[in-house]
Amino acid sequence: MRAHSSRYRFLVRCVVPLLAAAAAAVLPTSATASQTATTWSVRGPSPAAPVSATVALNSAGGLTLAVAHKGTTVLAPAAVGLETTAADLTNGLTFLRRTDRIVTENYVMTTGKQRARHARMAESTLSFAGAEGTRMDLVLRVSGDGVAYRYVLPDTDGLTVTREASSYAPPADAPAWLLPYTANYEATRVETTAGAAAAGDFGFPALFDVDGTYVLLTESDVDGRYSGGRLTHQAGSGTYTIKLADAEITSPGPLATPWRTAIVGDLATVTASTLVDDLAPASKLTDTSWIRPGTVAWSWLSEHASPRDPVRQKQYVDFAARNGWSYILIDEGWDRSWVPDVVRYARARGVEVLLWFHWTALDTAQERDATLSLVKSWGVAGVKVDFMDSDSQARFQWYDDILRKTAEMRLMVNFHGATIPRGIQRTWPHVMTLEAIRGAEQFRTRAATNTMFPFTRNIVGGMDYTPVAFVVSDRDTTDAHEVATFLVYESGWQHAADKPENYDSRPEALRTLNQLPTTWDETRLLGGRPGQEAYLARRAGERWYVGGISAVPAKMFETPLTFLGKGRWLVETLRDGPHGLVREARVADSDDALSVPVATNGGFVTVICEYTKGRSTCDQPVRRVPQTDLVVTPAQAETRPGSTIDVRGTFTLPAGGPIRDVQLRVLPPAGWTAGGATVSAKHIRAGESISGAWTVTAATNADPGYVDVPVVATYRFPDDPQRRPVHVEQAVRVFVPPPNPSGAAYVSDLPFLGESNGWGPVERDRSNGEMDAGDGLPLTIAGRAFAKGIGTHAPSEVTVWLGGTCSQLQAEVGIDDEVTESGSVAFQLFGDGRQLADTGVVRRGDGARPLAVDVGGVRMLTLKVTDGGDGKNFDHADWADARVTCA
């Protein structure tokens, strides 16, 4: 008894000062409390905390939650609770107990508006029993900038949630900035009021202005245990209710739902809030040293066809290298036949490569294992995954799976066609950004919409708007506005969306872009209102960066510089001038103000650095990697499993330098081995070289086909702002022949040594279908069905090994019946690079065209389909009954 009494006094001392609730409601050991309490209040973790929440139990046993800011209600009492297939926990509840604690966490982000985070929240758990005896805990957390709650169902072997009653009730006349719901969050955000909003569903986050106190509604900590939610609204009502993406959500055991989250405060508090991340699970990664935010050169928006062109991609690499940008993104259309070469070209110039994927190419464990391992072996640094377009529990389970795999492979991630961030960038720090925004790729840019994003979508996490797209002709923004989006919008990877020529033609814009970081130590709102203006100050290290975008008539923006430290500062501003972009600089201190003329729908970027005598610009040198040469011999080789090849490499610094910490080595593929030492040099000066020689042995179980044996040189160079090694690589292209075919062999049964396809994968014994492997139909041409063959989509190529042992190829070729409109293609055959046959244009309705071609002596046979000269739409091409006759 004595020990119990001592603990009781400790609880009273610690808990009562933190809470505004009556003492009887605080003490879980009080039987009277559990019988009589019907209202419970929770205030933030400090006595002066402005935010509080009140939970009430009504006479029907239903719960409501209200939120107040500085004593004024901003969210009126609104229902909370949920239903499962076994229990209705929206009414008939009985209070059991209350427990309280303070949650304090410190963590560091790899991306975002603030690197180092400090979270402190008061947490209260209110336990209830439903009419069926099911226990439900309502867990509330209140911080200085918001309120969050979740449901915990602890005593179950499994359950199925069918509905949440969770709702919010801002005043009906509160101005609101809402996003009509679509699963990719790319609809146009609208300005309305809470009550006047149309009936229907709205996506998170949703922003309301309650007499100058802003409330941002969203959610945190959603993963595969649950589905994503959204808000649903009845016309004329101010109440918004949570609607789940799935009709049923299954849990195999105890369940803790996502946090229903309301960020509350003045606009500056809401904009700078990190509450969504604070509520999320801690990082699952212990080593984040390989994760690097940065600027990305991206070609798809300005040139849709460019991702199919390796020459053009190398031009983007050259542009990125000249300007010190960290990455290029090769979007939809790349081909595995040339990507490794572009990756090597880029890395030798200090630029890393990111690759685009449709999510269905990575939707199984087998696809993720094979594909991600392959691109990692090429040296790819990260992936952009697109078109998930779902908030279902199944899709969040897929997110869990691909995030675990990419983390294991040390591949960074950008999600497009995606859901919004719900704390994902804290839990998985290799997520650099997510789309979930109506970005520049919509080709209709409006200043009024742009100025909503900093106060809505971008508050909850990185936003891949793909900024600075001068190429968009349907825009009402100025050039300075476009440049400023790069700073005003936060994204760990900023995908600059225009072509090199458009940036080079605006040298002042490019000069500014080259100086802007993409992650921040601190962020402050300096002024603005959604749909009108947004002005932010961000700090990276000792430098400050101020940016603004406007959707109002021309004006003078002014702000005190009190956030600067002591001393004198050089303040350098890029803004709109009467004849284009202009740059201005002056010296100031923290007692001064920043005054910038802002054009109608304009913007500006200001860089602020420490002033020293004679300094005229804040520009820092951009990273430019020295040019080096790596020659590898032989360029090509052929070997059998278990056999060896001799490889040599010479690495040279033609001019400049010196470079240091140089290493030259061979990196054999998995299962292969290499004899010979790594060659090292502490320094290499201009004109000097190092060389190495190795004996490489193929794996005894080496798969047939082509494999690269890379020779790699790494080095560092003086004054590198990123302080990381440069990777230079060339490879010996080694061919491992498969067994020679014999007798009558169907081409669809042979190993494919190379394949490419205009849409989805090449299909064996089925038509092309859509994006997924195996989704085609039986091969059918003009009503004739074929059991064997290859289904492709122009343009396509398939290469198989004949080994010089076959005499003839026979096939029936044509457009598959699965297409509903006319396609046109041409079928071609190549033997060892020499054209053997060309059908000319074949159209839908022509029927199956017989093909018989002499392939005597051919080692490599390539079956190629072109688009017939009129584009690739509906070009589903069948090599039906394709077979070779061999010795």
What mean pLDDT do residues 557-576 have? 97
State the average pLDDT for the chain: 94
* CA distance to 289, 296, 308, 421, per residue, from 518 (Å): 17, 10, 28, 17
Among candidate residues 689, 711, 736, the one where a domain is terminated: 736
Looking at the 3D structure of the chain, how many domains does it have? Answer: 3
Is 479 among the catalytic positions? no
Three-state secondary-structure class, residue 486:
helix
Q: State pLDDT tens for residues 164-189.
A: 999 999 999 999 999 999 999 999 99
Q: What is the pLDDT of residue 870?
A: 85
Q: What is the pLDDT of residue 844?
A: 87
684 and 777 together in one domain: no
Is residue 536, in this structure, part of any structural domain at all? Answer: no
Q: What is the pLDDT of residue 821?
A: 84
What mean pLDDT do residues 128-155 have? 96
Q: What is the pLDDT of residue 16?
A: 31
| pLDDT at position 19 over 70 | no
| pLDDT at position 8 over 70 | no
Domain CATH for 643: 2.60.40.10
Is residue 790, in this structure, part of any structural domain at all? Answer: yes
DSSP code of residue 389 = -
751 and 697 together in one domain: no
727 and 754 together in one domain: no
The rounded distance, in Å, linking the Cα atoms of 36 and 402 is: 49
191 and 249 together in one domain: yes
55 and 150 together in one domain: yes
Q: Classify residue 582 by burial, with Cβ atoms within 10 Å: 0-12, 13-18, 19+.
A: middle
Q: State pLDDT tens for residues 406-447.
A: 999 999 999 999 999 999 999 999 999 999 999 999 999 999
Q: What is the pLDDT of residue 26?
A: 34
The rounded distance, in Å, linking the Cα atoms of 809 and 686 is: 56
Q: Find, among 333, 266, 269, the residue nearest to 299 by Cα.
A: 333
Q: What is the pLDDT of residue 9?
A: 33
| pLDDT at position 249 over 50 | yes
Q: State pLDDT tens for residues 292-343.
A: 999 999 999 999 999 999 999 999 999 999 999 999 999 999 998 899 999 9
759 and 854 together in one domain: yes
DSSP string over 344-371: HHHHTTT-EEEEEEEGGGGSSHHHHHHH
Q: Which residues contact 524 (CB under 8 A, 6 or more apart)?
A: 268, 272, 536, 537, 538, 563
Q: Classify residue 721 by burial, with Cβ atoms within 10 Å: 0-12, 13-18, 19+.
A: exposed
310 C-beta neighbours (distance < 10 Å), count:
18
Q: Which long-range contacts does 121-125 make (Cβ < 8 Å, 24+ apart)? A: 121/44, 121/45, 121/278, 122/18, 122/19, 122/42, 122/43, 122/44, 122/45, 122/49, 124/19, 124/40, 124/42, 124/98, 124/99, 124/100, 125/98, 125/99, 125/100, 125/152
Is residue 88, in this structure, part of any structural domain at all? Answer: yes
Is residue 182, in this structure, part of any structural domain at all? Answer: yes
DSSP code of residue 112 = S
- Between 47 and 679, the more confident residue is 679
Token pair belonging to 33: 């409390």
Among candidate residues 696, 718, 736, the one where a domain is terminated: 736
Is residue 428, in this structure, part of any structural domain at all? Answer: no
| pLDDT at position 733 over 90 | yes
Among candidate residues 234, 255, 279, the one where a domain is terminated: 279
In this structure, are strands 580-588 and 569-577 parallel, antiparallel, or unpaired? antiparallel
Is 303 among the catalytic positions? no
Q: State pLDDT tens for residues 749-774.
A: 999 998 999 988 999 999 999 888 88
| pLDDT at position 260 over 80 | yes
Q: What is the pLDDT of residue 564?
A: 96
Q: Which of 441, 464, 729, 867 is catalytic?
A: 441
Inter-residue contact 68 to 74 (CB < 8 Å):
yes
Q: Which long-range contacts does 530-535 make (Cβ < 8 Å, 24+ apart)? A: 530/177, 530/191, 530/207, 530/451, 530/452, 530/455, 530/456, 531/177, 531/191, 531/448, 531/449, 531/451, 531/452, 532/448, 532/451, 533/451, 533/557, 534/451, 534/453, 534/454, 534/455, 534/488, 535/559
Q: What is the pLDDT of residue 59?
A: 94
In this structure, are strands 726-736 and 636-638 parallel, antiparallel, or unpaired? parallel
The rounded distance, in Å, linking the Cα atoms of 846 and 497 is: 43
688 and 776 together in one domain: no
Q: Give percent of the chain with pLDDT exceeding 90.
A: 91
99 and 28 together in one domain: yes
Token pair belonging to 45: 């973790």
Q: Which of 164, 209, 352, 386 is catalytic?
A: 386
Q: State pLDDT tens for residues 685-729.
A: 999 999 999 999 999 999 999 999 999 999 999 989 888 999 999
Q: What is the pLDDT of residue 32?
A: 35
| pLDDT at position 487 over 60 | yes
Q: What angle do CA 180, 183, 186 make, to 5 degrees?
A: 60
What mean pLDDT do residues 462-471 have? 98
Position 288: which residue type?
T
What mean pLDDT do residues 12-37 have? 37
Q: What angle do CA 724, 729, 731 make, to 5 degrees?
A: 160
721 and 768 together in one domain: no
What mean pLDDT do residues 115-137 have? 96
What mean pLDDT do residues 446-458 have? 98
What mean pLDDT do residues 69-85 have? 97
Is residue 157, in this structure, part of any structural domain at all? Answer: yes
pLDDT band of 36, cuts 50, 70, 90: low
32 and 169 together in one domain: yes
- Residue 384: which H helix or E strand, with range? strand 382-386
Helices 393-409 and 365-378: crossing angle, nearest 10°?
Answer: 30
| pLDDT at position 18 over 80 | no
The rounded distance, in Å, linking the Cα atoms of 414 and 433 is: 5
Residue 847's domain comprises: 743-886
712 and 810 together in one domain: no
Q: Classify residue 232 by burial, with Cβ atoms within 10 Å: 0-12, 13-18, 19+.
A: middle
705 and 757 together in one domain: no
* CA distance to 491, 816, 839, 842, 851, per residue, from 824 (Å): 43, 11, 12, 6, 17
| Torsion sign over Cα 278, 283, 288, 293 | negative
pLDDT band of 132, cuts 50, 70, 90: confident
624 C-beta neighbours (distance < 10 Å), count:
15
The rounded distance, in Å, linking the Cα atoms of 207 and 192 is: 10
What mean pLDDT do residues 580-588 have? 97
Token pair belonging to 570: 């050089």
Q: Which residues contact 431 (CB under 8 A, 6 or more apart)?
A: 111, 403, 412, 413, 414, 415, 421, 424, 425, 462, 492
Backbone angles phi, psi at 162, to 5 degrees: -110, -20
Is residue 841, in this structure, part of any structural domain at all? Answer: yes
Q: Which residues contact 365 (CB under 8 A, 6 or more apart)?
A: 401, 405
Domain CATH for 763: 2.60.120.1060
Inter-residue contact 53 to 140 (CB < 8 Å):
yes
- Residue 341: which H helix or E strand, with range? helix 339-347
Q: Give percent of the chain with pLDDT exceeding 70.
A: 96
Is residue 506, in this structure, part of any structural domain at all? Answer: no
Domain CATH for 207: 2.70.98.10
Q: What is the pLDDT of residue 845?
A: 84
What mean pLDDT do residues 833-838 have? 97
